[in-house]
A and B are shown apart, each in its own frame.
Chain A
Amino acid sequence: MSTKRIVATAVVTAGVLALSACGNAGPGGAGSDEFTDGKLVLAVLNDQSGVYKDLSGPNSVKAVEMAVADFQERHGDDAVVEDVEVTFADHQNKPDVANTKAQELYDRESADIILDVPTSSAALAVATQAAEKEKLYFNIGAATTELTNAQCNKYTFHWAYDTYQLANATGTAVTEGGATDWQIIYPDYAFGQDMDKSFTAAIEAAGGTVGDHIATPFPNDNFSTFLTRAASAEPDVIGTMQAGGDLINLVKQYNEGGYVDQGIELAVGLMFITDIHSLGVEAFNGVNFAEAWYWNFDDENRAWADRFMEETGTRPSFAHAANYSAATQYLEAVQAEGTDDADTIVGHLEGKEIDDVFLKNGKIRAEDHRVIHDVYLARVKTADEVTEEWDYEEILATIPAEEAFKPVEDSTCSFG
Chain B
Amino acid sequence: MNEILQYTLQGLAAGSFYALAALGLAIIFGVLGVVNFAHGACYMLGAVVAAVLQDLLGLNFWLALLVVPVVMFVFGVVIERLLVSRLIALDPLYNFLLTFGLTLLLVDLVKRQYGVSGLPYTRPDLLTGQITLGALRLPTYQVFVLAFSLLVCAAVWLLMTRTRIGMIVRASTEKSELTRALGVDVNRWVTPVFGFGIALAGLAGVLAAPFRAITADMGSSFIIILFAVVVIGGLGSIVGAVVAGFIVGLVEAFGQAYAPALSQIAIFVLMALVILVRPAGLFGREENA
Find chain A residues with CB under 8 A from B13 CB.
224
- For residue B121, which residue of chain A has the nearest CB? A280
A253-291 contact mask (Cβ, 8 Å, vs B): 1 or 0: 101111001100000000000110111101000000000
- A50 pairs with B213, CB closer than 8 A: no
- A221 pairs with B256, CB closer than 8 A: no
- A278 pairs with B119, CB closer than 8 A: yes
8 closest residue pairs by CB, A with B: A248-B213, A278-B117, A225-B256, A278-B118, A256-B139, A224-B10, A245-B213, A280-B120
Q: How far is the CA of A279 from the CA of B253 in the complex (A)?
A: 25
Find chain A residues with CB under 8 A from B212 CB.
221-222, 248-249, 252
B122 CB within 8 Å of chain A: yes
- B213 pairs with A258, CB closer than 8 A: no
- For residue B13, which residue of chain A has the nearest CB? A224
- B116 pairs with A53, CB closer than 8 A: yes
B residues contacting the other copy or chain, number (CB 8 A) = 42
- For residue B252, which residue of chain A has the nearest CB? A222
Find chain B residues with CB under 8 A from A399 CB.
none
- A219 pairs with B217, CB closer than 8 A: yes
Q: How far is the CA of A261 from the CA of B217 in the complex (A)?
A: 32
Find chain A residues with CB under 8 A from B3 CB.
228-229, 232
- B211 pairs with A54, CB closer than 8 A: no
Q: What DSSP secondary structure best describes chain B's contact surface?
A: helix
A225-257 contact mask (Cβ, 8 Å, vs B): 1 or 0: 110110010000000000011101100110111
A215 CB within 8 Å of chain B: yes
Q: What are some 21 contacts across the A-B interface (CB < 8 A)? A: A49-B108, A49-B111, A49-B116, A51-B217, A54-B115, A214-B260, A221-B212, A222-B253, A224-B13, A224-B142, A225-B11, A225-B252, A249-B212, A252-B210, A252-B211, A253-B211, A256-B140, A258-B129, A258-B139, A274-B117, A282-B122
Within 8 A of B (CB), among A173-231: 188, 214-217, 219-222, 224-226, 228-229
How many A-B pairs fall under 8 Å by CB? 111
- B116 pairs with A226, CB closer than 8 A: no
B→A interface (CB under 8 Å): 3, 6-7, 10-11, 13-14, 108, 111, 115-120, 122, 128-130, 137, 139-142, 210-213, 215, 217-218, 221-222, 252-254, 256-257, 260-261, 263-264
- B256 pairs with A54, CB closer than 8 A: no
- For residue B111, which residue of chain A has the nearest CB? A49
- For residue B116, which residue of chain A has the nearest CB? A53
Find chain B residues with CB under 8 A from A188 CB.
261
Find chain B residues with CB under 8 A from A228 CB.
3, 6-7, 10, 257
- A226 pairs with B260, CB closer than 8 A: yes
Find chain A residues with CB under 8 A from B264 CB.
217
Known: A188-B261, A225-B256, A248-B118. 19 other contacts (CB 8 A): A50-B116, A54-B115, A217-B263, A221-B213, A221-B222, A222-B10, A222-B14, A224-B253, A226-B256, A226-B260, A228-B6, A228-B7, A228-B257, A229-B257, A252-B213, A258-B129, A275-B117, A277-B117, A278-B119
Find chain A residues with CB under 8 A from B254 CB.
225
Q: How far is the CA of A232 from the CA of B6 in the complex (A)?
A: 11
Q: Which of B108, B120, B222 has the most CB of A within 10 A?
A: B120
- A279 pairs with B118, CB closer than 8 A: yes
Tell me the smallest distance from the CB of A299 to a CB of chain B, in Å.
Answer: 28
A55 CB within 8 Å of chain B: yes
Q: How far is the CA of A224 from the CA of B15 in the complex (A)?
A: 13
Q: How far is the CA of A52 from the CA of B252 in the complex (A)?
A: 28
- A54 pairs with B116, CB closer than 8 A: yes
For A256, give its contact among B115, B116, B142, B252 (CB under 8 Å): B142
- A244 pairs with B117, CB closer than 8 A: yes
Find chain B residues with CB under 8 A from A244 CB.
116-117
- Whether A245 touches B260, Cβ cut-off 8 Å, given contacts A278-B117, A280-B122, is no
Find chain B residues with CB under 8 A from A50 CB.
116
For A216, give its contact among B108, B116, B137, B260 (CB under 8 Å): B260
- A256 pairs with B213, CB closer than 8 A: no
- For residue B9, which residue of chain A has the nearest CB? A224
- For residue A282, which residue of chain B has the nearest CB? B122
Q: Which of A52, A55, A221, A226 has the most CB of B within 10 A?
A: A221
